[in-house]
Structure 1
Amino acid sequence: MKLFNLLVAILFITQIGSGLLGNLFLLCYYISALLSGHRLRPIDTIFVNLAFANLKVLLSKGLPQTMFFLGMKNFLDPFCCNLIHYLQHLSRSVSLSTTCLLSGFQVIAISASNSRWSELKAQATKYIVHSCLFCWCFYLLINLTMLGIMHNSRFKSNNTRWWHLGYCSVAAPASFNTTFYGIIFSLPDFICMAFMIWASVYLIFLLHRHHQRVKHIHNLHISPGYFPEIRATHAILLLVCTYVSFYSIDSILSFSVFQFGKYESFLLPIAQFMTTCFPTISPFILISYDSQGHRNWRNLWSKKSSQ
């Protein structure tokens, strides 16, 4: 085994292990809260959905790549390879759409002082679970359609194009237009990205205006970093900036790898690493900035300790 491959494998193991611990902690916390009779906030449903999608990204994307760098090459048969490739795209898109949903819901929640927005918040709260399910169903259909087009008999020919991922190879007819279908099926992701950025900018504006109005009631000795609205702004900015940054770099690198066939270059492991960065970091961002979650966790822990 080459030293470079060993170092990359250790890096992936560290990243995946940290991400799994963070997301499993979130899921275990919310499950424990439910079993203990605590009532979860509506936004907690989005957190659970995001943590579950992140786990799927880490397992479907990071685990096969780690095994490849540990020396296990092409260990997946064609069916399992297509299945893993399908799960990778599905979980990545659901993670993006859930982050988009989180941004939109927080805009509605912060704007609820207006009567029109308060009615919308009441409706949005009712349909959070439905929205999360819609994200899964929508991208299930999108990715199944993409998979069906790639293997449609209309595209079949003697010339086959292979994408070598290291742990397996994905095949498609040479007539399959990667760029065209990639752009078409990435449109929902781009729309989510645009909405997420707009929602975050609008939320920052609302929080800044609210902060100016109620500034006089805050204790002047408290650091601005402890204002609830400032903490919320930081959390949203970190989530959005983290996703946009890693998603953009990953998309550019993945396009270069698949379009120009540079599978043996250093671009492929970097692209794979960028894909799993957000699922690794996001649970720790949520844990760090969720002050109400901290209080609930302390109450839950104190109750268990007293029993």
Structure 2
Amino acid sequence: KRSMKVIATGFLCLVVVGLPANLTVLLLFCHLRSSRGRLPPNDFILSNLAAVNVVVLLCRGIPQTLVAVGLKHFINDWGCKVVIFAYRMGRAMSICVTALLGCYQSVSVAPSTSHWTILKRWLPAHLPHAIIIFYILNVFICHGAVFYPLAPPINGSIPEYTLNLEFCIVVFPGLEVYMVHGVAYTVRDVAFVGVMVLAAVYMLLVLYRHRQQVKGLQGASQASTGASQAVLLLVCTYVALFGLENMLWGYTLSVSRVLPAVSDVRVFFPCFLQKRNVLIIHLCILCVLHYYIIIISLQKTN
């Protein structure tokens, strides 16, 4: 009972803090979109990130909180299919969109050589296309979430190769399907987090070179240091939490029956990152990077 109270408190805090924060950011971007007619590329990516975070909160945070406070059997089979598929898509898109944001930021701070200039002009117009491609990719990877989720049985018996989410269960037809879906999720996560790390490493290299060029200039060195620290914070947090989640996911794939507590822990930490910190960290990075780029431009002009 005590552990259930701790879990309930944790998920409740995620919902109470994360849902208003992401909705506020999303509504702000909607207002900017309606008043300006279009959003700048960074704002467009962040608005999509806020939207998918809201989906994850609604589809996983709230049901998990209700289960933790003692409610059971409040979703039927079709409701489970909708909720689990929406959660899978939202979580996957959160990782993909974050990686896209890192790539766009690395292109933005890249030197204005001929190749980078072409990419800087080409990329902003094709950001919506990238988002659409990510949706198509993740629908293909997450299609099993449409077929396998069911409402939990009243008698509490859980078959083999089943993910027990407590408010729903995901019953895979056999070991092969169980493993294929698990490996597909892992490969996708590792690939996009890897892209995020590479983009961050490139940004750090660019910021380091700029810092060497502007040594002694007032404000520029501090801005460069702040930007570097923000990038490192984001990447280290992502790698640590999603690394922990994928380790637990690997354990999940190695057993035929998974304890609900393992699923709760596996979901909680990445949710904590997505719902509470990601947008704040990204907005801080953007502010520092923009300030830094302005300083560099002014110094070069002078």
TM class by shorter chain equals 0.7 to 0.9
Give 1:90's aligned residue. 89
Q: Which moved more, 1:3-12 or 1:89-98?
A: 3-12
Alignment of 1:71-90 (within 5 A): 71-90=70-89
Residues of 2 paired with 1:36 and 1:181: CA distance? 43
Structure 1 gaps of 5+ residues are 152-158, 296-307
Give 1:300's aligned residue. none
Deviations 1:219-277 (Å, cap 9, x if unpaired)?
1xx4944x1x4443333333222222211111222332454256446423211211311
Q: CA deviation at 1:166?
A: 1.0
Deviations 1:75-98 (Å, cap 9, x if unpaired)?
222222232222222111111111
Answer yes or no: is the 8 Å Cα contact 1:82–1:170 preserved in 2. Answer: no
Q: Tell me if 1:267 matches 2:262.
A: yes
Instruction: State the identity as a percent.
Output: 26
The one-letter code matched in structure 2 to 1:101 is L
Q: CA deviation at 1:65?
A: 0.8
User: Are residues 231 and 118 of structure 1, via their aligned partners in 2, closer, same or farther at CA, if it must alter by over 3 Å?
Assistant: farther
Deviations 1:135-172 (Å, cap 9, x if unpaired)?
1222122212x347869xxxxxxx86433211122222
Count the aligned residue pairs.
281
Match for residue 278 of structure 2 among 272, 277, 282: 282
TM-score, L = length of structure 1: 0.81
SS, match of residue 36 in structure 1: helix
Alignment of 1:35-54 (within 5 A): 35-37=34-36, 40-54=39-53
Deviations 1:14-36 (Å, cap 9, x if unpaired)?
12221112212221222222333
Give 1:241's aligned residue. 236
Q: CA deviation at 1:45?
A: 0.8
**RMSD value, Cα:** 2.8
Structure 2 gaps of 5+ residues are 150-158, 292-302
User: Are residues 149 and 267 of structure 1, via their aligned partners in 2, closer, same or farther at CA, if it must alter by over 3 Å?
Assistant: closer
Residues of 2 paired with 1:59 and 1:35: CA distance? 25
Give 2:178's aligned residue. 178
Residues of 1 paired with 2:256 and 2:264: CA distance? 14
Residues of 2 paired with 1:175 and 1:85: CA distance? 20
* Higher RCO (Cα < 8 Å, 6 or more apart): 1
Alignment of 1:87-126 (within 5 A): 87-126=86-125
Give 2:209's aligned residue. 209
Residues of 1 paired with 2:202 and 2:229: CA distance? 14
TM-score, L = length of structure 2: 0.82
Give 2:127's aligned residue. 128
Q: Tell me if 1:13 matches 2:7.
A: no
- Structure 1 runs (4+) deviating above 6 angstroms are 292-295
Q: Which moved more, 1:230-239 or 1:107-116?
A: 230-239
Give 1:232's aligned residue. 227
Alignment of 1:154-169 (within 5 A): 161-169=161-169
SS, match of residue 172 in structure 2: strand
Q: Tell me if 1:194 matches 2:190.
A: no
Give 2:156's aligned residue. none
User: Are residues 45 and 176 of structure 1, via their aligned partners in 2, closer, same or farther at CA, if it must alter by over 3 Å?
Assistant: same
Deviations 1:155-210 (Å, cap 9, x if unpaired)?
xxxx8643321112222223544224321343232221222111111210111001
